[in-house]
């Protein structure tokens, strides 16, 4: 079927073409700006620590290690096994500390509490501390992210 009248004028067509072209051009400028603002970030898959540094820990005590840019906390349980956490509160990202006499993790920012296994038991934290896997392959102590083989 042939339409008798044009759907838009020549001026509208040219304005649309010109506007579209300007928009496309701007998008090509905006994309690299956004890419630039967000630097690449990768959480480590695993950290390898010398086991000798942690071997002598008394049961019920903790030691810190670096998990990328975050503090990691390695705890030796009463039965001699090890348990590793990302030492960051699940509420609003503050670094937590371990209180050995109370057997609890504590976040000072908004008074969040976790038990000795990192389970949230008081205050605003919505979920347990993040757990990491511990593997001991002497002379190394390997701390891994979930799902990393």
Partner 1 sequence: MNIKKLGAGFQAWLDDRFGLSGIAQFLKEKPVPQHKHSIWYYTGSAILIFFTIQIITGFMLILYYRPTLEEANASVARVMTEVPLGWIIRSVHSWSATFMIAFVFVHLISIWVTKSYREPREITWMSGVLLLACSLFFGFTGYLLPWDDLSLSATKVGTDIPRSIPVVGLWVTKLLRGSEDVTGDTLTRFFGIHVCILPIFLVLLLAIHIYLIQKKGMSVPVEAETRGEDVRTIPFWPNFVFREMVVWLVLVGVLFSVAVFLPPSLDKPADLMAAAPEGVKPEWYFLFLFQTLKIVPPKILFVNGDTVAVLLMLVAGVLFFLLPIIDNKPLERKGKIITVLAYALVAYALIMSVWSLL
- List residues binding partner 1 (CB under 8 A): 37-39, 41, 43, 64, 66, 68-71, 87, 89, 91-97, 107-111, 120, 123-127
Report the distance separating Cα 104 and Cα 95, nearest Å.
14
Instruction: For partner 1, give the closer residue by CB, 75 or 91.
Output: 91
Instruction: For partner 1, give the closer residue by CB, 76 or 120.
Output: 120
CB of 118 to partner 1, least distance (A): 15
Instruction: For partner 1, give the closer residue by CB, 29 or 41.
Output: 41
């Amino acid at each position: 079927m042939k339409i008798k009248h044009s759907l838009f004028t020549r001026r509208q067509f040219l304005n649309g073409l010109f506007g579209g072209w300007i928009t496309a051009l701007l998008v090509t400028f905006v994309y690299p700006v956004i890419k630039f603002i967000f630097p690449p970030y990768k959480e480590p898959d695993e950290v390898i620590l010398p086991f000798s540094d942690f071997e002598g820990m008394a049961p019920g005590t903790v030691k810190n290690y670096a998990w990328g840019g975050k503090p990691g906390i390695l705890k030796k349980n009463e039965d001699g096994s090890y348990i590793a956490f990302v030492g960051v509160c699940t509420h609003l990202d503050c670094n937590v500390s371990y209180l050995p006499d109370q057997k609890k993790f504590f976040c000072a920012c908004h008074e969040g509490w976790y038990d000795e296994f990192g389970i949230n038991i008081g205050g605003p934290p919505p979920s347990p501390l993040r757990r990491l896997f511990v593997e001991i392959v002497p002379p190394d102590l390997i701390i891994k992210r979930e799902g990393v083989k």
